[in-house]
Amino acid sequence: MPPEFAEVLRHEINNPLTGILGNAEMVLAHRDRLPAAAAKRLEIVVDLAVRLRETIRRLSVSREIPVPDAIRSA
């Protein structure tokens, strides 16, 4: 995958993910007004969004680290 495509893909995933995460956290800030089941589901949304964001970050970092030829050919 060309580096430019990887960067565009990361950007295109992170933008809506940030919106999802931010909105879920904003609603959870008023959890005292929510039914317990709704709050629990929003906590799951936040946890999964954070997990996805971290996965994307790890993939981005791993693409930036050059792999020496000796390791690549092993």
Per-residue pLDDT reduced to its tens digit, 3-37 = 777 788 888 999 999 999 999 999 999 999 999 99
Reading phi first (left if > 0) and then psi (alpha if -120 to 50, else beta), residue 35 is in beta
pLDDT band at 72 (very low <50, low <70, confident <90, very high): very low
Domain count, the chain: 1
Say which amino acid occupies 34.
L
* Residue 13 forms part of a structural domain: yes
* Residue 68 forms part of a structural domain: no
Question: What is the domain extent for residue 28?
Answer: 3-62
Q: How far, in Å, CA of 57 to CA of 49, rounded?
A: 12
Query: Can you give the pLDDT at residue 71?
Result: 52
State pTM to two decimals.
Answer: 0.73
* Residue 41 forms part of a structural domain: yes
* Residue 71 forms part of a structural domain: no
* Residue 47 forms part of a structural domain: yes
